[in-house]
A = this chain, B = another copy of it.
């Protein structure tokens, strides 16, 4: 009981910071996954994947992105599929547990004015406390996946027999982890995702329910489960629930308006099907990466709109990626406050400290710069339309995994850039947010104020 979490992770001995641990454990997991996916055992044909393709697939799985260079459902053997979903489960759980732990620690006392070294904060938690939290997260995750998977298995059993049961649980894990991998390629054609189920309300609701739960963040789930009433929720929970709802509804509305008469996507669906597909794409664009319409036929306007949804992504301490709903909400609130001439940024009757607004600004700006840089690199190496490259890069960075279909056509350097982007997009904003809370220095001299003209 007297042991410290620092010892548990061997941080003290290795002299590693918590985020170095995060980065190294993800990198190690990707390496193991790459080797497993390269074995002949992993594929139906018995030919192993090339190193680059295996690396790409393993990174995509561990980072729960969902971009693929081969068609999962037909290329991989049962063993390969199980390796893949295991990587997804460990990657998804890992990021959720780590970020939840960090969120609790940061929330506890670190703010910009009085910063503590993470080390000290970690020392306050006992091994038992951390183990209990992690166990709790694992239990909740498995429970949700089991319930969702069972419903999905019952639904798919009627279509696919015993295979439907396997599909049910497999896709429940993929959905809750916001991974977006699917096996439907073996049923409805290569890279078809859930297009065959565009009008199936049961499948739509189960999958989006799992996606939303997985993407909303563990702290929010725990808060809602414990307190039940909106007025009792923490500010963070209120912000995340509100922003998620607004983005889902607004996203569905815009996608509907842009696509309802597009013959490549929704024109042939029923009225209900159009509404459902719009809702489905709105939910999955923010990090899950499933699709029930043909992404390669979307209009440029929709692609551009989904690029923004993907960039925003899911919520903190979840399996989803992007700059996060709370980040976007704080930025909009700060802008709105200024327009209204207020010096304080307010949300739900609470004032947001300057440090948090700055942090949101930094996460957004650094993410934008990363995405811009990689997109420029891809415009040099790849011979594809700009918007499809931008879409692919932001999809990789936000670990969404949606694609207009160009993933398989990428050059080796293009694939490696995306491997880097998926990894950076997964651990980047998290470690960035952590690093920003870690540094303890407070300038001992304060400069006099100076003014600059803006705009």
Question: When the two chains form their complex, are residues B438 and A349 in contact, meaning their CB atoms are under 8 A apart?
Answer: no
Residues of B within 8 A of A332 (CB): 365
A110: nearest chain-B partner, CB-CB:
B451
Min CB–CB distance A407 → chain B (angstroms): 18
Specify how many copies of this chain sit in the oligomer: 2
The distance in angstroms between the C-alpha atoms of A182 and B107, with both chains bound, is: 58
Which residues of chain B have C-beta atoms less than 8 A from A326's C-beta? 452-454
What 1/0 mask marks residues of chain A from 236 to 261 whose CB sits below 8 Å from any chain B CB? Answer: 10010000000000000000001000
Among candidates B103, B305, B352, B380, residue contacting A299 with C-beta atoms closer than 8 Å = B380
Interface residues of A in 361-413 (CB under 8 A from B): 361-363, 365-366, 372, 375-376, 379-380, 385-387, 389
- Residues B454 and A341 in contact, CB atoms below 8 Å apart: no
Contact of A359 among B338, B348, B358 (CB under 8 A): B338
Query: Nearest chain-B residue to A451 (Cβ)?
Result: B107
Which of the segments A124-132, A264-272, A429-437 contacts the partner chain? A429-437
Q: Known contacts A344-B447, A454-B356: does B435 contact A339 (CB below 8 Å)?
A: yes
Q: Is A439 an interface residue (CB 8 A)?
A: yes
Q: Given the interface contacts A304-B376, A350-B448, A448-B351, does A340 sit within 8 Å of B453 by beta carbon?
A: no
Q: In the docked arrangement, what's the CA distance between A305 and B379, Å? A: 11
In the complex, which of the residues A107, A236, A389, A455 has the most CB atoms of chain B within 10 Å of its own CB atom?
A455
Is A278 among interface residues, defined by CB-CB distance under 8 A? no
| Shortest CB distance A157–B (Å) | 39
Known: A361-B334, A376-B304. A103 touches B453 (CB 8 A): yes
Distance (Å) between the CB of A202 and the closest chain B CB?
A: 33
Determine the residue in chain B with the shortest Cβ distance to A450.
B350
* Given A342-B443, A454-B327: A357 touches B358 (CB 8 Å cut-off): yes
Interface check A331, CB cutoff 8 A: yes
- Cβ of A441 under 8 Å from chain B: yes
Instruction: Give the one of A360, A386, A433 with max B CB within 10 A.
Output: A386
Q: Are B449 and A353 in contact (CB under 8 A)?
A: yes
Contact check: which of B113, B449, B450 meets A343 at CB < 8 Å? Answer: B113
A436 in contact with B352 (CB, 8 Å):
no
A349 to B113, Cβ gap below 8 A?
no
* 8 Å CB contact of A436 from B324, B338, B433, B453: B338
**Contact in complex: A447, B350 (CB < 8 Å):** yes
9 A–B pairs (Cβ distance < 8 Å), ordered by A: A107-B453, A236-B451, A304-B372, A308-B372, A326-B452, A338-B358, A338-B436, A348-B450, A350-B448
Closest 6 CB pairs of A and B: A341-B439, A350-B450, A433-B455, A235-B450, A386-B387, A316-B453
Q: Give me 11 other A-B pairs in contact (C-beta within 8 A), A334-B358, A338-B361 excluded.
A: A106-B453, A111-B451, A217-B453, A304-B386, A324-B453, A326-B454, A334-B361, A346-B447, A352-B449, A360-B455, A361-B361
